A = this chain, B = another copy of it.
Amino acid sequence: MADKEKLTMVVFSGDFDRALGAFIIATTAASMGMDVSMFFTFWGLNVIKKNTGPIKGKGIMRKMLNIMNRGGSKRLKLSRFNMLGLGTWMMKELMKDIKHPTLDDLIKMAQEMGVKMIACTTTCSVMGLTEEAFRPEVESLAGAAYFLGEARNSKATMFI
């Protein structure tokens, strides 16, 4: 039997709008029968951080970083027109108005559809994050070699 066609994404950005784009693509691709891998790195780790509870980090600098850069799908901001949160709120209202799934809905749907969500080991080490920092939909931590193994066998690879 032929393998399923693969789609691979690096989610580097922690912007609300880019995260939304990534998950719309991921869930659509999964619904078309593709095998989807999302590799979260740098600010993109914010997209898959759990929304509640503290995020720990060893040492003063990592503690500070994880307070300033708290993350979680509910805290993400638009890359433009955030306007102290007003723009991001407005965008969510507009999505509700057309009954578009929220980012949180999309993350859950993605997991149910078999989309693999992986956190980048290297940026986790730099930022002092362990598996505990992430939501349950996240499968595991892995490095750039894992991502490239997926990318080289993919029909399309995107850096978001």
Contact = CB atoms under 8 A, between A and B. Distances in A.
Most buried by B among A12, A43, A68, A125: A12
Interface residues of A, number: 58
Contacts of A29: 148
Interface string A133-160: 0000000000111011101111111111
8 contacts: A12-B18, A25-B144, A28-B144, A32-B145, A91-B126, A95-B126, A98-B126, A148-B156
B152 A34 contact: yes
Q: Give the copy number.
A: 3
Contacts of A98: 125-126
A156 B8 contact: yes
Interface of A: 5, 7-8, 10, 12, 14, 17-18, 21, 24-25, 28-29, 31-32, 34, 41-43, 59, 61-62, 64-65, 68-69, 79-81, 90-91, 93-95, 97-98, 100, 122, 125-128, 143-145, 147-149, 151-160
Nearest to A93: B61
Contact of A160 (B79, B93, B145, B159): B159
A31 B41 CA distance: 20
Contact of A148 (B8, B25, B157): B25
A151 B156 contact: yes
A56 B95 CA distance: 18
A100 B42 CA distance: 14
Most buried by B among A12, A155, A159: A159
